[in-house]
Chains A and B, each alone.
Chain A
């Protein structure tokens, strides 16, 4: 009973934290564009406040640079359960153009933390990011919540 109520409540209030772990910030500006009145993230009950300690969804962007190798796990651990990580753009999945000789990146991000969903694109359109969060967010958070029991 309590779990069912929790699932319903979580579906309509997702807190998001954007974690830029070393990208060109193209994906980040598309996430900021999501806040604009045209896409209006908050009408779906999603709230972006960039604080990992309150987040349900961590939006990962960027190709995991040297400094983030240890810190990514630390930031992930700070978020309260149940939580999921969504990789935005090509960088957290493959390193994109930076994963070649001379580059200082340690992609993919799934080597360090569990990634629930990935949105390809360089960068993906805001509508695609929104669609992905809405499609996988509520269910994945609920699943994760049951897993933790």
Chain B
């Protein structure tokens, strides 16, 4: 029997259709139907200036909106050989890590909501608000920050911003261990998470799972390693686990939060004085950059014609994660309820995933999944 879930469903926060093939209560196979939020963002960016492009790239995805603008700016900077001032690089790290903290909290809270554990859902969302406060304090906005420009960041920050941010981080750390222990050691939750939705390392690589979802299965890629700012000035540990089940994915995200908090602290402690923005002399050319968004690797390929963007291609992490979720994680879960929580555990972000439309020879437009594009 096929159980359709979505596009509007109590357990989903974005429109997508899950088709679960079931035998009795057991789910044997799952399919994902995309296409509900395709807006044609890449086509709009073509022929625009970077000022308009960076505004649009922020609206690819609302949850990890920050990393999109940073990667966009870095790609244009790479084309034009612009050296970003060190102070601006540090400010980018602060915002990036605060964004990662709030995104991981949101992903975990959605997972708890999908398991109907209201207490943890509330606790985690409460902690997330402190990260949102810090972001609003620094950039002026809660979600779409508009913080990056080509050549640096929009404005300078000082002690008036850093002190409340550090206080907010203290508040997060105060309750963090208790909330993490509630999940990691609570008997009821662990029983429903351990051994459900298992994806091996081999399958994660085959399904192109990236970010915390891949790292929970033992994949070691983290694109913060290899990024010039992180390599030169920062110290952090890449969190990896080997189980590859719902428990491991949630715990990987939980364990990355203290690392991000420590990165923000390092950045605020060692931030050098100086400019935050250099004038950029735009050149024409092509460049590709990849960065680690909260959900995994984001790739931008941009070709410019001096002032205007000729061609842009964006690859987001969610499509690989959601596809490997449908293929490998939901393949053999015991109940339909577990299938929904497994889907929530892969941190799906539908708005990210849907940008590819393919027109066939008859002029019919179809929106394709990841496998058909590669």
Contact = CB atoms under 8 A, between A and B. Distances in A.
Contacts of A50: 8-13
Contacts of A20: 13-15, 36-37
B126 A23 contact: no
Interface in B94-123: 106, 109-110, 121-122
Given A20-B15, A33-B125, A33-B129, A123 B37 contact: no
B65 A24 contact: yes
Nearest to A68: B36
Contacts of B10: 49-51
A63 B351 CA distance: 12
A17 interface: yes
Interface in B60-82: 60-63, 65
Contact of B62 (A23, A51, A63): A23
A30 B143 contact: yes
Interface in A58-73: 62-63, 65-68, 71
Interface stretch (B38-46, B239-247, B249-257, B302-310): B38-46
A109 interface: no
Contacts of A102: 40, 43-44, 46
Interface stretch (A35-43, A112-120, A140-148): A35-43
B106 A32 contact: yes
Contacts of A71: 7
A75 interface: yes
Nearest to A28: B13
A106 B62 CA distance: 20
Main secondary structure of the interface of B (DSSP, over half): loop
B144 interface: yes
B172 interface: no
A21 interface: yes
Most B CB atoms within 10 A — which of A19, A23, A96?
A23
Given A24-B351, A122-B144, A29 B106 contact: yes
Interface size of A as a range? 35 or more
Most A CB atoms within 10 A — which of B37, B122, B129?
B37
A17 B43 CA distance: 31
Contacts of B36: 20-22, 65, 67-68
A102 B365 CA distance: 14
Contacts of B110: 32
B59 interface: yes
A30 B142 contact: yes
A37 B56 CA distance: 32
Interface string A101-114: 11111000000000
B59 A75 contact: no
A21 B270 CA distance: 44
B126 A22 contact: no
A3 interface: no
30 contacts: A21-B15, A23-B351, A24-B59, A24-B62, A25-B13, A25-B62, A26-B62, A26-B144, A28-B62, A29-B13, A32-B13, A32-B106, A33-B128, A35-B121, A37-B125, A38-B129, A49-B10, A50-B9, A50-B13, A51-B9, A52-B8, A63-B39, A66-B38, A98-B39, A98-B41, A98-B44, A98-B59, A102-B40, A102-B43, A122-B144
